[in-house]
Amino acid sequence: MQQARVVDLLPEVIHMAARVGKDHHLPLADSVVYATGRLYGAIVWTQDSDFKGLEGVRYTPKVK
């Protein structure tokens, strides 16, 4: 299941991150992760509740 790809922080990512950060009230780092995933057609797998309900995200709550 471990697949990763390192990508450059392109201007398109930065502009989209600003937009989705504002629209979804995401912190800066989260908005960059989300925008990168959307622009590259990737699924964002996370346990961070800030992403819950967003398109293209597979959210799994943390087990306590």
What does the chain come to in residues? 64
d(CA 18, CA 27): 10
d(CA 20, CA 3): 24
Selected residue with higher pLDDT from 55 and 4: 55
Give the pLDDT score at 22: 97
> What pLDDT, on the 0 to 100 scale, is given for residue 1?
57
Domain ranges of the chain: 11-51
Q: Where are the beta strands (DSSP E) in 1-64?
A: 44-46, 57-59
- Give the residue from 32, 35, 30, 26 showing the smallest Cα distance to 46: 30
Digit-coded pLDDT (tens) for 3-22:
777 888 999 999 999 999 99
- pLDDT tens for 35-54 read 999 999 999 999 999 999 99
Q: Mean per-residue pLDDT for 18-29?
A: 96
Rounded Cα–Cα distance for residues 7 and 28 (Å): 17
